[in-house]
Amino acid sequence: MNGPVACLDIDYFYAQAEELRNPAIRDKPIVVCVYSGRTPDSGVVATSNYVARRYGVRSGIPIWRAKELLRGVDAVFLPVDMPYYSALSHQVFEIAGRFADVIEVASIDEAFLSLLEVAAGSFENAARLMESLKKEIRARTGLTCSIGIAKNKLLAKMAADDSKPDGLLVIRPGTEDQYLKPKPVEDIPYVGVKTAKRLRDMGIKTIGDLVNTPSDKLMEVFGFRVGRFIYLASRGEYFEQVTPRGEAKQMSRMITLKRQTRDEAEIWGQLAGAIRELHRRVIELGYGFKGVSLIGVTRGMKPVTKSMALPHQTQEITELENVSRQLLRALLSGLEEELRRIGVRVYDLSSERGQSRLTDF
């Protein structure tokens, strides 16, 4: 089964971060710049808020041009502050990771979330989860974000772009053609200006036009890799797995409970098998772990988690079971809603076999 996959994009991130730091400038045009240092106006615009965009200020234009466009306007020009933005980004994606099976951080302001298990394959469940995530990010950080949900990463990214700012758009299975065909070819992610111009020179202006172009023609003009990509992308059939960047440090297993419940014994009776299955996989790969989390999803699709860091690395099933049982009691304590899904995650993994990358979640 494909999807659901979500793309999370923090709205006009650098400029929004500056609004958060100094709310007094929120209603002014804000331009965050990468200064070259040669002159006060040398460099380029990194991003701008929506107030500045109304004047035509966009990322990538020279700073002097942005100042020209904002002449006579009470605008704010600021240098990039990467340590500050990175700290905020880490906070956002740490929150997002609790709502997903797997999270792939694509850049400082964008991430992809695999929701197949946590949403039980349901796009409706995925939408409710992502609404909860947006509220959680806003409450915890003050930031807004836009989220797209679809059957693959590429479509989810397009949906996120279309939902800006502070929106949520779901492309449900079976509606991809309806969504894609009217769009200009430039709307396909990663199709640059040159590729779009060549397509237009071929009489291909919309994605609908592209769908009617044979794949061998596209591969003849653009080469196998690019031609195949735009052929599949135009049909909504370009699939890439959501994969953690760098070294992944966790594994998890999640189950849907036979009925929605808060009964500890009933939940444990079903969770214990998932714990044993996860432990077998950890041992097969030669990993030990130093942390355990339980992840629950309530009747209202709200994620709840409890975690425990261990004082030492272990591979012991009894320790995993004991910690998981403690976490389950803590998770259920004070929980008002019944759980519909429950999962266990081990993290801070290291391998005695010298393996440096783990992609199994």
Active site residues: 110
Rounded Cα distance between 59 and 45, Å, is 5
CB 86 within 8 A of CB 96: no
Secondary structure, 3-state, 29-67 = CEEEEEECCCCCCCEEEEEECHHHHCCCCCCCCEHHHHH
Rounded Cα gap, residues 147 and 127, in angstroms: 9
3-class SS at 210? helix
What letters, b where the CB count within 10 A reaches 16 and e where it falls short, cover 153-167? Answer: bbbbbbbbeebbeeb
Strands 30-35 and 43-48: antiparallel
CA distance 29 to 15: 9
Nearest Cα to 66, choosing from 85, 38, 39, 47? Answer: 47
Nearest to 292 by CA among 257, 273, 266, 318: 318
CA–CA dist 195, 230 (Å, integer): 10
Q: Give dist(CA 329, CA 332) in Å, integer.
A: 5
183 DSSP 8-state letter: S
Inter-residue contact 27 to 73 (CB < 8 Å): no
